[in-house]
């Protein structure tokens, strides 16, 4: 895209797979120095293993990375997980099913913001991006703890955007709709375990029917489509955009 980002430093938390991986590759294609932090051991010298639930471990990784790449201009929170259970109706889940989903998706985002803010504030300009979800905007019945955690992420992102604006650091959220990744497949898996065998469907059949019924454009979103928007938002082309939630969802959720 040539977004004039050559030499900038970017870190993608949750960058070992899916949308985070595509964002990592897109930053690299724009000439940035990129590092990945993930729960699974990511590949490469510029990668660290850390769990976003563990603030000390996350902060230690960010401290090491800052020495390695010198400067951190952009930080992306792309880590996430679902509860692994089908959440309709909500009493299908136990209150105990909420805890880990909130710890990874919401408290992980809080840990992320605390770990990166000191470094971003050293720059004259920079950005934070939280990968949220359309689920956080519609009270999705598929997985209520996930949906509520993502709503919390969007709200927290707005606080971050206001607090960091005086330092010329912008914060935004990107909400994908349906992207073919392990998280998306886990929703289908949870549903299959819930319904009688003769009503079960192959993943592709289930997902295609679902996407036709909920998204006006009727097509999957790809990790690369999400990544293009993520990196555009980080670049100076997005320099007047902060506190926003941008949906990459084929029109599933429309807002003014
Ligand atoms: N795929 C979709 O349809 C979809 C839709 C809306 C939102 N999202 C969101 O997009 C983001 C990326 O998900 P994805 O679809 O690429 O799935 P993914 O499973 O491919 O990627 C998620 C990444 O997060 C990492 N991760 C999970 N728990 C972690 C932890 N505790 N600490 C550190 N890393 C951890 C995983 O190891 C993985 O690399 C997530 O926040 C997800 O909720 C995805």
Q: Is the CB of 230 under 6 A from ligand 1?
A: no
Q: Is the CB of 20 under 6 A from ligand 1?
A: yes
Cα dist from 169 to 119, 164, 166, whole Å = 11, 5, 8
Q: Is the CB of 106 under 6 A from ligand 1?
A: no
State which residues form the domain around 192.
9-248
- Please indicate, yes or no, if residue 187 is contained in any of the structural domains: yes
Q: What is the pLDDT of residues 73-103, one digit of tens each?
A: 999 999 999 999 999 999 999 999 999 999 9
CATH number of the domain bearing residue 49: 3.40.50.720
- Please indicate, yes or no, if residue 253 is contained in any of the structural domains: no
- Give the nearest ligand 1 atom to 15 CA: 39
Protein residue closest via CA to atom 11 of ligand 1: 78
Q: Measured between alpha carbons, how far apart are the two ends of the chain, in Å?
A: 28
Expressed in angstroms and rounded, the spacing between residue 7 Cα and the centre of ligand 1 is: 27
| Residue 128 contacts residue 167 (beta carbons within 8 Å) | no
- Please indicate, yes or no, if residue 3 is contained in any of the structural domains: no
Looking at residue 221, the DSSP 8-state letter turns out to be: B
Domains of the chain: total: 1
Residues 6+ apart with CB under 8 A from 41: 47, 49
Q: Is the CB of 133 under 6 A from ligand 1?
A: yes
Q: Is the CB of 145 under 6 A from ligand 1?
A: no
| Residue 97 contacts residue 104 (beta carbons within 8 Å) | no
The pTM score is 0.97
Q: Is the CB of 242 under 6 A from ligand 1?
A: no
Q: What is the pLDDT of residues 105-150, one digit of tens each?
A: 999 999 999 999 999 999 989 999 999 999 999 999 999 999 999 9
């Amino acid at each position: 895209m040539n977004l004039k980002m050559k030499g900038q430093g970017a870190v993608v938390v949750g960058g070992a797979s899916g949308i985070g991986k595509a964002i990592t590759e897109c930053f690299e294609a724009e000439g940035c120095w990129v590092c990945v932090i993930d729960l699974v051991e990511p590949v490469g010298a510029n990668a660290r293993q850390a769990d976003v639930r563990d603030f000390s471990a996350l902060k230690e990784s960010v401290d090491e990375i800052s020495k390695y790449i010198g400067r951190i201009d952009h930080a992306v929170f792309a880590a996430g997980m679902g509860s692994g259970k089908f959440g309709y109706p909500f009493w299908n889940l136990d209150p105990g099913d909420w805890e880990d989903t909130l710890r990874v998706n919401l408290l992980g985002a809080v840990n992320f913001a605390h770990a990166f803010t000191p470094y971003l504030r050293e720059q004259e300009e920079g950005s934070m991006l939280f990968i949220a979800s359309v689920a956080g905007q519609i009270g999705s019945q598929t997985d209520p703890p996930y949906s509520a955690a993502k709503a919390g992420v969007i709200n927290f992102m707005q606080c971050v955007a206001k607090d960091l604006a005086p330092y010329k650091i912008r914060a935004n959220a990107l909400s994908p709709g349906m992207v073919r990744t392990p998280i998306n497949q886990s929703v289908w898996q949870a549903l299959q375990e819930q319904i009688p065998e003769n009503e079960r469907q192959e993943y592709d059949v289930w997902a295609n029917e679902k996407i036709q019924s909920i998204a006006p454009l009727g097509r999957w979103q790809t990790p690369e489509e999400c990544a293009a928007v993520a990196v555009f938002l980080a670049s100076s082309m997005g320099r007047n955009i902060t506190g926003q939630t941008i949906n990459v969802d084929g029109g599933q959720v429309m807002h003014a």
